[in-house]
């Protein structure tokens, strides 16, 4: 399953799972305690987002000043942004996913995986995939 299909499946199933978990937690803990946990998780996540966002921005700036390509830092900043977006969705599952994007050790491993397998992976030319080899070049017709 490629990443776009997985992402679409996760995007469509997340609201259903969030509602299910919220209903179960309200039944087990009560409405007020569940609401307090939701608000506390959001407040903690937003503070973590602010700290990690500034930290990642600083590392991007330092890599640029050293003259390096900040590929890893850029992917990590995208993951921090994704974590912030997930924090805006009310629910515990999205908060757990957001923490995965905001905790530095997890975010670093996920960024390395994305760079290695999805972003920096060389594309396979269509002609080579079918067994033909195409040599690209330029030509000039002289009559």
How far is Cα 57 from Cα 135, in angstroms, rounded to an integer? 41
Q: What residue spans of 30-69 are helical by DSSP H?
A: 31-65
73: closest CA among 116, 107, 49, 121? 107
Task: Using the predicted structure, report yes or no on whether residue 77 has a pLDDT greater than 70.
Answer: yes
Q: What is the pTM of this model?
A: 0.68
Q: What is the mean pLDDT of the segment spanning 82-101?
A: 86
107: closest CA among 23, 48, 32? 48
Residue bearing the bigger pLDDT, 23 or 131: 23
- The per-residue pLDDT for range 100-127, each reduced to its tens digit, is 888 889 999 999 998 888 776 565 555 4
Cβ within 8 Å of residue 4, ≥6 positions away: none
Residue for token pair 């390509």? 69
Q: What percent of the chain has pLDDT over 70?
A: 89
Residues listed for the chain: 143
């Amino acid at each position: 399953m490629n990443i776009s299909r997985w992402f679409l499946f996760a995007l469509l199933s997340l609201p259903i799972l969030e509602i299910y978990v919220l209903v179960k937690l309200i039944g087990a803990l009560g409405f007020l305690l569940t609401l307090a946990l939701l608000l506390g998780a959001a407040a903690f996540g937003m503070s973590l987002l602010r700290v990690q966002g500034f930290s990642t921005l600083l590392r991007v700036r330092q890599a640029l000043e050293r003259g390096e390509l900040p590929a890893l830092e850029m992917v990590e900043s995208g993951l921090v942004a994704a974590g912030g977006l997930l924090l805006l969705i009310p629910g515990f599952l999205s908060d757990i996913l957001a923490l995965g994007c905001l905790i530095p050790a997890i975010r670093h491993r996920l960024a390395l995986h994305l760079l290695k397998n999805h972003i920096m992976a060389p594309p396979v030319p269509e002609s080579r995939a079918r067994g033909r080899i195409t040599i690209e070049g330029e030509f000039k017709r002289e009559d």
